[in-house]
Amino acid sequence: MQFKLSRFKLQDGSFTFRPMVDINFIYGSRMLTTKGLLDSGADGILINMSFAKSLNIIAKSGHKKENVGIENKPMPVYHHNIEMEICNLASSRISVNVGFIDSGSVGVLLGRRDFFENFKISFESYNGSFDIEPKP
């Protein structure tokens, strides 16, 4: 399935394009629909702590690990097993391990472990698009 890159305004007034996709996160009978950024530099899937409540998850009850990311300082991340799917992409529902993090710089990052490992992803920045297909 082909997706268009999303246009974002930067602090200096210029624009950039980012690979964003609509995602459903599922935990029990709860579902949260939001946008996620495909981030090939992220080790796994990180979700802002504020989303945990919508899924009826007590984030800090998860397995705690320290994460050093773009802010270059250790931050606690609380891991939980949930399910996710890419909106409108058939056969995309998978079980994933997500890390909830309390960081203003993280909304939803879709990283290598669990996300990139389960989908074929092709970027065509010159066309302003990217493709995602379930793993063959």
Greatest Cα pair distance in the chain? 43
Least confident of 31-40, 92-101, 104-113, 123-132: 104-113
pLDDT tens, position by position, 104-122:
778 999 999 999 999 999 9
Cα–Cα distance measured from residue 110 to residue 29, given in angstroms and rounded to the nearest whole number: 22
DSSP readout, 85-136?
Answer: EETT-TT--EEEEEEEE--TT-SEEE-TTTTGGGEEEEEEGGGTEEEEEE--
**Domains within the chain, CATH numbers bracketed:** 18-134 (2.40.70.10)
Pairing relation of β-strands 94-101 and 20-27?
unpaired
What does the pLDDT read at residue 70?
65
Question: Tokens for 17?
Answer: 């394009």
Q: List the Cα angle 85/100/30 in 5-degree steps.
A: 45
What pTM did the predictor assign? Answer: 0.91
Q: Per-residue pLDDT averaged across 81-97, rounded?
A: 96
